[in-house]
A and B are shown apart, each in its own frame.
Chain A
Amino acid sequence: MEANEQVVTGEQLLNSKSTKRIKIKTLTKSTIVIRITMFFLVLLTIIAFFNFDYKELDIGEAMLATFANMKAMFLEPHFKHFTFTHALHQVFVTLGLAFLTTLFGAIIAVFLGLLAAENLTSKRVSAVIKGAVAFIRAVPTVLWVLIFAVAAGLGSVAAVIGMTFHSVSYLVKAYSESFEELDKGVIEALQASGANFWQIIFQAVIPSSLTYMISWTFLRFEINFAVAIAMGAAAGAGGIGFDMFMASNFYLDIREIGTITFFILAVAILLEVFATKFKKKLKVNG
């Protein structure tokens, strides 16, 4: 790639008396390819809009109707089939589901993560666990919930098991990678003084990885909150997601959907603010 770059020295640019502007980017093979690709993508998008099968739909009218719906949803939210306290309660149910599955996942993942870290166990054990976990992670959480629903029936039990399952696989990867960051010399030093495996884990490995572990766990908690909303609707796990399902599919009340969306948004923002503050504090102290 670099061999294709035109070599122009600064002197040549300054000496050439022409009024040519100095370019900041030089044309390399990769920039040309990127530009051509972008051009075709834009072209295809425009062509596509002319070739859609609009049936009897007038695009202008449809867009206006969508805006009207959006306006109703977000500017005129109301409570009809439930009250404010009920909604708050349901948000906490959803948060509870996210918290519980993250907690279960984190506890199991710490132990599996230790086994999956190459510097703490053998290469083979590590490879087996990482492989299994990669497979579990490749299947979406929702699918795992539905798979467990076969045995446990659709509901909160299947949701808890399925979400925990996926959280474990996600966190094992994150944790084991942060454990592997620890210099093997530190482990050697403690081994040489006669410390045993668990002492080394709790005195050296975990203290060194704690900030990473907390960051990843928070991230998973945010993911689990989003999944928990979906599970309320898709797997009947209860919480605010179920109310959303009822509002949209049963009562067809878009204003109520707006209310729920605002509730979820508020919680998501609160979580984000809390997580950022907490991480900052950890960076200072930890």
Chain B
Amino acid sequence: MTALLEVNHVSKQFGNDSKALSDVNFTVNEGEFVSIIGPSGAGKSTLLRCINRMIDATGGEITFDNMNVMNLKKKELKMVRTRIGMIFQHYNLVNRLSVIENTLHGILGKKSTIAGVLGLYNQAEREQAVRILSMLGLGEHIYKRADQLSGGQKQRVGIARALIQNPRMLLCDEPIASLDPNSAKTIMDHLRTISSQMGITVIVNLHQVDVALKYSDKIIGINQGQVVFNGSSKDITKEDIQRIYGSEAEDLIFDIGGIHAS
């Protein structure tokens, strides 16, 4: 297995505040499923956005597919972004447009400005969109407006929009935080399939430790901007969880015990 993403000594400071990230190091392999866990404000979202430069890190080095992301020019950065899909807690769809239109937004980055502005997609692109939507179980909702969907369906459109990019990697910022347990399971199952069958690397920010343990190959635990755990989900111990979430994690520890037992 080769490393697809390398994060070396990355730090980020917003203004004069204390550091949101300090000296973060980890590598992610091709096709791996990685969960980033940590308490609120630990810097999970910041870390994810540093990877595709939605936020510029203040120090360190990020290598994606043997390219140094940190000093790319505007055009090259766009190129890299077309190969990294992103999924959000609040789906971030254009509510007034249809499911298929929202899906096709994923390939805007590969189109010329004028074709993108006018929304000119060719037959092959449309077929690809329909294929992905059917795969995600949205075959009947192709022409529905995005705001007429349930949360779980919206998130699947979000995944479709990322998949049509034909990405090497997906970045998911709390994809199931606004969903009920059933929809959350559907979404996590899809992400797992995308990683294991399509070979796409998936990095997920999560608040649910049990979900993270169940689905991930690797867990990265962050507390106050520092990586405090980095290893296989099988190797994680009560002490690690306590270190990630601080001393108030007594209740969680019980959960972990249950999960490891089952």
> Which single residue of chain B is at the shortest CB-CB distance from A199?
B116
Q: Is B196 engaged at the interface, CB distance under 8 Å to the other chain? A: no
Q: Is B92 engaged at the interface, CB distance under 8 Å to the other chain? A: yes
Interface string of B89-131 (1 = CB under 8 A from A): 0101111110000000110111101001111000000000000
Q: Is B88 engaged at the interface, CB distance under 8 Å to the other chain? A: yes
Q: State the CA gap A162–B82 with chains docked (Å).
A: 46
A:189-204 near B, CB below 8 Å: 189-196, 198-204
Q: State the CA gap A286–B145 with chains docked (Å).
A: 9
Q: A195 near B116 (CB under 8 angstroms)?
A: yes
Q: Is A215 engaged at the interface, CB distance under 8 Å to the other chain? A: no
Q: A208 near B161 (CB under 8 angstroms)?
A: no
A:241-284 near B, CB below 8 Å: none
* CB-CB under 8 A for A186 and B78, given A193-B106, A198-B116, A204-B105: no
* CB-CB under 8 A for A194 and B108, given A185-B88, A188-B54: yes
* CB-CB under 8 A for A199 and B113, given A192-B81, A193-B85, A194-B81: yes
Q: Is B52 engaged at the interface, CB distance under 8 Å to the other chain? A: yes
Interface residues on B, range: 20 to 34
Q: A196 near B116 (CB under 8 angstroms)?
A: yes
CB distance from B141 to the nearest CB of A (A): 18
Q: State the CA gap A242–B84 with chains docked (Å).
A: 64
Q: Is A76 engaged at the interface, CB distance under 8 Å to the other chain? A: no
Q: A186 near B108 (CB under 8 angstroms)?
A: no
Residues from chain B with a CB closer than 8 A to the CB of A202 are 116-119
Tally A residues with Cβ within 8 Å of B. Answer: 23
* CB-CB under 8 A for A192 and B108, given A203-B117, A207-B97: no
Q: B96 near A193 (CB under 8 angstroms)?
A: no
Cross-interface CB contact of A193 among B90, B97, B109, cutoff 8 Å = B109
Main secondary structure of the interface of A (DSSP, over half): helix
Residues from chain A with a CB closer than 8 A to the CB of B149 are none
Q: Is B86 engaged at the interface, CB distance under 8 Å to the other chain? A: yes
Q: B105 near A207 (CB under 8 angstroms)?
A: no
Q: A190 near B97 (CB under 8 angstroms)?
A: no
> Which single residue of chain A is at the shortest CB-CB distance from B167?
A193
Q: Is A103 engaged at the interface, CB distance under 8 Å to the other chain? A: no
Q: Is B3 engaged at the interface, CB distance under 8 Å to the other chain? A: no
Cross-interface CB contact of B108 among A188, A193, A207, A286, cutoff 8 Å = A193
Q: State the CA gap A25–B78 with chains docked (Å).
A: 62
Between A189, A190, A193, A195, the greatest number of chain B beta carbons within 10 A of the residue's beta carbon is seen for A193
Residues from chain B with a CB closer than 8 A to the CB of A149 are none
CB distance from A64 to the nearest CB of B (A): 58
Q: Is A210 engaged at the interface, CB distance under 8 Å to the other chain? A: yes
* CB-CB under 8 A for A208 and B94, given A190-B108, A193-B109, A203-B105: yes
CB distance from B21 to the nearest CB of A (A): 19
Residues from chain B with a CB closer than 8 A to the CB of A200 are 108
Q: B88 near A189 (CB under 8 angstroms)?
A: yes
Q: Is B135 engaged at the interface, CB distance under 8 Å to the other chain? A: no
**A189-B92, A193-B86, A203-B105 known, 8 other contacts, Cβ within 8 Å:** A193-B106, A194-B81, A194-B110, A195-B108, A196-B108, A196-B116, A202-B119, A207-B94
Could you give 5 example pairs across A and B, Cβ below 8 Å?
A: A192-B84, A199-B108, A199-B111, A203-B117, A208-B95
- Pairs A-B, 7 closest by C-beta atoms: A194-B109, A199-B116, A195-B108, A189-B92, A194-B81, A194-B82, A185-B92
